Amino acid sequence: MGLRLLVLLLLALLPSCSRGGASGTEQVFSLVPRSTPLHGRLTFDILSDPKTFNPALAQETTSTQVLGYLFRGLTRVSPYDGRIRPDLASRWTVDPSGLKVTFRLEKGVRWSDGVPLTARDVVFTFNRVYYNPKVAAAVRDILMVAGKPFTVRAKDDRTVVFETAKPFAPLLEELGVEILPEHLLSKAVDSGRFNISWSVRTPPSQIVGTGPFRLEKYVPGQYILLVRNPLYTPPRGLLAPIPGALPYLDRVVLRIIPNQNSELLRFLAGKSDLIGVSPSQVPVLSDAAMSRAFRLLLRGPSQAETFLTFNENPTAPIPAYKISWFRSRRFRQAIAYALDRKAMINVIYNGLGAPIPGPVSPANKAFFDPAVFRYHHDLERSRELLAKDGFVVEKGGLRDASGHPVTLLLMTNTESPERISMAQMVQAMLRPLGIRVRVVPLQFNMLSTMVLSSHQWEMLLFGLTGTLDPHGNATVWRSSGFLHLWNPGEKAPSTSWEKEVDRLFDQGVATFDPAKRKKIYDRWQEIATREVPMVDLVSPDAITAVRKTLGGIHPTPLGGVIPHISLVTQKATLVIR
């Protein structure tokens, strides 16, 4: 189940907490031949209830972390080398023009209700769901080229042809989006009820996918139970099961708990099998007595992006003078210079992390621009920039040219103590400038709704899971993008730099030469760090703690954790964290 897109709040703590793990590869859990008795249960915790069981509508990790076990796409990304591998498609051929790709579906794949998967399901998924303007599908942004959808048609029951208006370099990667069952969802599309289909109130037996597990039970606020899908057909290229390599799984239990502290306490008490570890938790887990029960796996640099962003939406229900602050490049740059990222790493992450210079992580060797501008802690530079915009310090506080005191409401999510600590450090670091910040933590789902729907917010501390190909960021950086957070729903770019970014993303998807693509996305990173609509902060090192009762597990080069043999694919999509 290859790649797919979305975005925002807390770090993907577990290997399964974001589509694509540390930025979007697959995960693997044990499956065995049907002749082998199944046994074993994997239990881990998640920080919030899902908002939907409909993959086309999922916009946040609270939903996608579950759906990654249930659904698959035509392709997937190898966690070992980042290459595109077969999933529901067994093979494909690319026309010399680069405009047409023909996929052959894996033989014998069935939905978990027993109905065969056919090319009709693929055509339905794209033409009637993802490209349907009446469906709130965030992935639509990444499934377009030159502003046009792909042409998708079935040649026969197992052959699907995709054609694009222009060459589309990340096509194979983006076709990891989930394929949906036509026989169950076509009526919902016809009746206009698709946007409320497969909600969290839907009986689990009605949620049908092609993944290695199926949804057995969901108790809100308590747990989600996934059981092995006996009809699952693994994609080609997997290693043969190795007897004794690890405890074979017949079920996965996702316990819903309120925050990271509770998650850690449950793991230490032996109530969960693995946990994404924050660097701030390493001293506790490194205790000699505890280390006998589990081991720490260093997964390498994270591709996650933690950032501040500002509400630049002219129609947002906040004071107009604040929107004018946020729309000023100097104001945003002043905030960027005021933040001491090294202090954040030392205080919050025990030194186990790195500043994030821009929208592409240094861990992404193929596309990161090492020459990109990096903001350093410089309060004097912040003061200079604010003064040029007419801000003055009066009566102990900063005021704009019209005399309004500079007070900001900074929101983040309650489930992450580290996010709250980071927000409090932002609050303290802006105080010397005379900027007063009030930190307001909210529950994740409530916060994401406010940001994406009501737009009633001022400043936000959020995060993205990251993607391997920069095109995955299109939903955030295109002016029309579904997750264009600072000014969503623009009918046209409101600034010249946003217009240029739109053009760069159009060029990037139509360019196949790696060196030329790199140059295009280097220019995007240059603009992103100059304009700073998102002030990038820091990213922790990726660490996972695994109980020693589990075997055959090792970290992969792209940051995932692979318990050998059976596949639970996750999307390398940009996801709200």
Phi/psi zone of residue 6: left (φ > 0), alpha (ψ -120 to 50 degrees), beta? left
Cβ proximity of 220 and 98 under 8 Å: no
Task: Return d(Cα 457, Cα 408) in angstroms, integer.
Answer: 10
Structure tokens at 164: 């694009």
- Please say whether the beta carbons of 53 and 198 come within 8 A: yes
Centre a 10 Å sphere on the Cβ of residue 199 and count the other Cβ atoms it contains: 13
Q: What is the pLDDT at residue 19? A: 29
In what helix (H) or strand (E) does residue 62 lie, and over which residues does it extend? helix 61-67
User: Could you tell me if 8 and 448 are in contact, meaning their C-beta atoms sit under 8 angstroms apart?
Assistant: yes
What is residue 277's predicted lDDT score, i.e. its pLDDT?
Answer: 82
CA distances from 546 to 246, 269, 303, 402 (A): 13, 13, 21, 56
| Cβ partners under 8 Å of residue 273, min gap 6 | 42, 43, 44, 546, 547, 549, 550
How far is 406 from 399, CA to CA, in rounded Å? Answer: 5
Q: CA–CA separation, 199 vs 343, rounded Å?
A: 42
Per-residue pLDDT at 300: 66
Query: Exposed, middle or buried by CB within 10 Å (0-12, 13-18, 19+), for 235?
Result: buried
Q: For residue 420, give every residue at least 6 positions away whose Cβ sits within 8 Å of its Cβ, in sequence order, or none.
A: 412, 414, 439, 441
d(CA 90, CA 110): 14
- Kindly report the backbone phi and psi dihedral angles of residue 484, in degrees, each rounded to the nearest multiple of 5, phi listed first: -75, 80
Instruction: For 155-176, give one letter per residue: b (16+ CB within 10 A) or e.
Output: eeebebbbebeebbbbbbbbbb
**For the domain bounded by 305-467+535-540, which CATH number is listed?**
3.10.105.10
The kind and range of the H/E element at 337 are helix 329-338
Q: What is the DSSP string of 558-575?
A: TS-EEESSSEE-------
Q: Where are the domains positioned within the chain?
A: 305-467+535-540
Strands (E) in 414-536, as ranges, are 436-442, 459-464, 534-536
Under 8 Å CB-to-CB from 394, ≥6 apart: which residues? Answer: none
CA dist., res. 342 & res. 538, Å (int)? 8
Q: What is the DSSP string of 446-477?
A: HHHHIIIII---SEEEEEE---SSGGGGHHHH
CB 59 within 8 A of CB 576: yes
Task: With beta carbons less than 8 A apart as the criterion, state whether 72 and 61 touch.
Answer: no
Task: For residue 460, list its beta bridge partners.
Answer: 309, 411
Cα dihedral 451, 456, 461, 467, rounded to 10, equals 20
pTM higher than the cut 0.75: no
Distance from C-alpha of 4 to C-alpha of 574, rounded to nearest angstrom: 7
Length of the chain: 577
CA torsion angle 484 523 149 155 (round to 10): -130
- Do residues 54 and 530 touch, judged by C-beta distance below 8 A? no
Distance separating alpha carbons of residues 308 and 569, to the nearest angstrom: 30
CA distances (Å), origin 143, targets 4, 71, 166, 342, 505: 10, 18, 12, 38, 13
pLDDT in tens, the chain (577 residues): 322 222 222 222 222 323 222 222 333 333 333 344 445 788 889 888 999 999 999 977 788 889 989 999 999 877 666 678 899 999 999 988 889 999 999 999 999 999 999 999 999 999 999 999 999 887 888 898 888 999 999 999 999 999 999 888 889 888 999 999 999 999 999 999 999 999 999 999 999 999 989 999 999 999 999 999 999 988 865 443 333 333 367 889 999 998 878 888 898 888 998 888 878 788 777 764 466 688 887 776 677 789 999 999 999 999 999 999 999 999 999 999 999 999 999 999 888 888 999 999 887 888 999 999 999 999 999 999 999 999 999 888 999 999 999 999 999 988 888 899 999 999 999 999 999 999 999 988 788 888 878 888 999 998 887 777 888 888 899 998 878 999 987 888 999 999 999 999 989 988 888 889 999 999 999 999 999 999 999 988 888 888 877 765 656 545 444 333 222 333 333 444 5
Q: Cα dihedral angle (413, 419, 424, 430), rounded to 10 degrees?
A: -100
Residue-level pLDDT at 576: 41
